[in-house]
Amino acid sequence: MTPSLSFLIPVYNVQEFLDECVTSVLPATQAGDEIILLDDGSVDGSSAMCDAWALRHPDRIRVIHQANVGLATTRNRAVQISTCDYICFLDSDDVLCWETLAAARELLTREHLDLLTCDAILWRQGPPSLTISHSLPTDAVISGTEALAHTLQDDFLSSCCRIYSRALLCAAGPEIFPASRTYEDNSAIPLLISHAQRVAYLPMPLFLYRVRGGSITQTHTLKRCLDQATSLALPLKQIRQLQTDPALRDTANLLALSHVVTAVRHAATIPKVTLRDFTQVIEAGVQSLTLRGDALLAAVDASPRKKVLRKHAKGMLQHPRRYALLRLLVARWKQFHVRLTQRTP
């Protein structure tokens, strides 16, 4: 029997993109499926647009209105009210590749999967689009532990490029995605993969990930940088507690370190960023790692990303204040250069 699918779409102030998103999902649905639009306190026209879609397709679309609580809590609530066998998340400014769903359903049906990973397309205004693929084996069902090793190496932890059994999500508890945090996928996806028994990979794009200015992922604040720097703290702790393969531990820590480095770079774009801001991000990120000191540097040296990560790792571990001060000086120069360029006729 073909499994049913719940498409869970949190909605917040996306009236410019919502119609395109919902229009892309409808051709992928069949009898027994549902599209749940969770309006997270939108203050533009998105709320009315959700209601209009539900009126046009009452057999497929449900709308939930709520006060603004953020993306993570909205997703958690959506899982609890969903009713289908499998769940597909989609952000309301993205577009589903509905053509992929036929192949995905066939694989889910044949293999009784807990989790299916698919590709994605980074979709920008202007520059050419980029397909994000994975290193998981094709035409094979693997364990969650094996899938996790590949996923941490690939570093694409988007919840939207995967289809999950509802049983897997519900077993993870009511707070799958950590509330009141950004980069919630970094925390949730490794944990979900590790709990899955049967995982497969379909090398076809499941969605178009719209990269746009002003979106959550393109706007940086100190809190957002702190969230990114510590986003893999829970998976790191679980991997350490399970005493799994040291190679998996090293891979997870190197991925976490790369996110600390990126969080520091993002902090440089914060207006009037201070030395204390950089210090907070660095200290929080380093403390979230389960490899420290020489052990971390040894893992960096054995990594293909040694050239990128080693100078940052040494700076954060051995000279954190000097490293933070250098980041501040670079940030001030870049921000000054931007202002100078904007003033030039």
Q: What is the pLDDT of residues 16-59, one digit of tens each?
A: 999 999 999 999 999 999 999 999 999 999 999 999 999 999 99
Residue 277 has pLDDT above 70, yes or no: yes
pLDDT at 88 over 90: yes
Per residue in 300-313, pLDDT tens? 999 988 988 999 99
* Angle 92-95-98 from CA coordinates, rounded to 5°: 130
| Distance separating alpha carbons of residues 277 and 266, to the nearest angstrom | 11
Residue where a domain stops, chosen among 150, 184, 217: 217
Answer yes or no: do 76 and 138 share one domain.
Answer: yes
* Average confidence (pLDDT) over 120-147: 91
The CATH number of the domain holding residue 11 is 3.90.550.10
User: What is the structure's pLDDT at 213?
Assistant: 65
Mean pLDDT score, 144-153? 95
Structure tokens that stand for 189 in this block: 């996806």
**Summary mean pLDDT of the chain:** 93
pLDDT band of residue 1 (cuts 50, 70, 90) is confident
Question: Which bin fits 323, alpha (ψ -120 to 50), beta or left (φ > 0)?
Answer: alpha
Same domain, 152 and 284: no
* Helix H or strand E encompassing 339: helix 320-343
- Share of residues in the chain with pLDDT > 90 (%): 85
Does residue 202 sit in the same domain as residue 230? no
Q: What is the pLDDT of residue 343?
A: 64
Torsion of CA 265, 270, 274, 276, to 10 degrees: -70
Residues 58, 35 contacting (CB under 8 angstroms): no
One domain, residues 27 and 117: yes
Q: How confident is the model at residue 133 (pLDDT cuts 50, 70, 90)?
A: very high
Is the pLDDT at 215 greater than 90, yes or no?
no
Residues 208 and 257 grouped into a single domain = no
- Token pair 């379909």: residue: 202
**Lowest-confidence pick of 205-214, 256-265, 321-330:** 205-214
Does residue 145 sit in the same domain as residue 202? yes
Spatial contact of 86 and 157, defined as CB atoms under 8 Å apart? no
Listed residues 179, 197, 217: the one ending a domain: 217
What tens digit of pLDDT does each residue of 222-249 get?
A: 999 999 999 999 999 999 987 778 999 9
Task: Kindly state whether residues 153 and 259 are assigned to the same domain.
Answer: no
Q: Give the span between the Cα atoms of 265 and 243, in whole angstroms.
A: 32
The answer to whether residues 34 and 73 belong to one domain is: yes
B/e letters for 215-230, b = 16+ CB within 10 Å, e = fewer, are eeeeebebebbbbbbb
The rounded distance, in Å, linking the Cα atoms of 144 and 119 is 18
Please say if the pLDDT value at position 253 is more than 90. yes
Model confidence at 126: pLDDT above 80: no
Q: Choose one of 217, 234, 257: the last residue of a domain.
A: 217
Give the Cβ contact number of residue 70 at 10 Å.
18
50 contacts: CB under 8 Å, gap ≥ 6:
11, 18, 37, 39, 63, 65
Count of domains forming the chain: 2
Q: How far apart are the two ends of the chain, measured CA to CA in Å? A: 66
- How many helices and strands (H and E) does the chain possess? 14, 9
Q: Please state, in angstroms and rounded to a whole number, the distance separating the CA atoms of residues 10 and 185.
A: 14
The whole domain housing 307 covers 220-343
151 plus 212 within the same structural domain: yes
pLDDT of residue 7: 98
Structure-token match 């508890």, residue found:
173
Average pLDDT over residues 181-193: 95
Per-residue pLDDT, 245: 83
Same domain for 163 and 39 = yes
Question: Do residue 213 and residue 225 come from a single domain?
Answer: no
Distance CA 280, CA 284 (A): 6
pLDDT of residue 298: 96
Residues 301 and 175 in one domain: no
Burial class (CB in 10 A: 0-12, 13-18, 19+), 154: middle
* pLDDT score, position 341: 76
